[in-house]
Amino acid sequence: MQEEVVTVKNLSKSYNNDLVWENINFSVRRMENVAILGKSGAGKTQILRAIIGLTKPDKGSVNILGKNIYALKGETLINFRRKIGYLFQSGALYDFMNVKENLLFALERQPIKRSETELRKMIEKALYQVGLTGIEDKTPTELSGGMRKRVALARTIVLLPEIILYDEPTTGLDPITSREINELIIEMRDKLGISSVIVTHDIDCVKMTANRILILDKGTIAEEGTFAELAKSSNTWVRAFLE
């Protein structure tokens, strides 16, 4: 069995006495894609934020690559977070920067100082890996929604993360472009060895990319398993959710 790169234990969180989640437990193994499904407002994105340490739970722990993310502080936390890529739902590209500058913005804030030649090669490689070459001088406003998602993914993988957190990676995309993004998520796992947590409402995305699926309901993980296993669940709500 592959080692666990993410271990979530007894995670609980409430806001103003409103329960978000209670005693959430799950793990992600190396080179595994785990998808989190649930109704809107179920707290799926908050779990991603908890994994990276942006949301602190009321109780529980998150271990990333063997380290408790909540025990890390200051510069140590900032440096450690570089091992974790986060693909925002919106892409979060800077419209006033071109593609090259967006990727450079991430690279130039790393503790390792690289030459211009090294930086150029890293940018070219990342864009090649997401199927985009020769667009370094274009701005995000000149790109389609799918291309912007690819650039955002390139900006994530250019930092060589070991884990990527995807927040609704196919939202707003047409079926063909969604499939292309799904294929890239699989490539990130199979070719680069990246483990992923994927929050999505897109059942096709889940079916294509996920090794395991977590169903989040009423603040807890209601069921866990592969798509095939959950499709045979005795829980009619779970089966309906996957249709």
Residue pair 36/28 in contact by the 8 Å Cβ criterion: no
Q: Spell out the domains of the chain, with CATH numbers in brackets.
A: 4-241 (3.40.50.300)
- Give the burial class of 123: count Cβ atoms within 10 A of its Cβ; 0-12 exposed, 13-18 middle, 19 or more buried: buried
- Torsion, CA 88, CA 199, CA 73, CA 192, rounded to 10: -80
Count how many residues are written for the chain.
243
Residue pair 9/56 in contact by the 8 Å Cβ criterion: no
Per-residue pLDDT tens listing for the chain (243 residues): 578 899 999 999 888 878 888 899 999 999 999 999 988 777 888 899 999 888 888 999 999 999 999 998 888 888 888 889 888 776 678 888 899 998 888 788 776 777 888 888 988 998 988 888 888 899 989 988 888 888 888 888 888 899 999 999 888 888 888 898 899 899 989 988 999 999 998 899 999 999 999 998 888 898 999 999 988 888 887 777 777
Centre a 10 Å sphere on the Cβ of residue 228 and count the other Cβ atoms it contains.
Answer: 9
- Name the residue among 239, 211, 216, 237 with its Cα closest to residue 2: 211
Q: Which residues lie across from 225 on neighbouring strands?
A: 213
User: What are 234's two structure tokens?
Assistant: 């005795």
Question: CA distances (Å), 197 to each of 6, 84, 119, 189, 216, in order?
Answer: 9, 11, 28, 11, 14
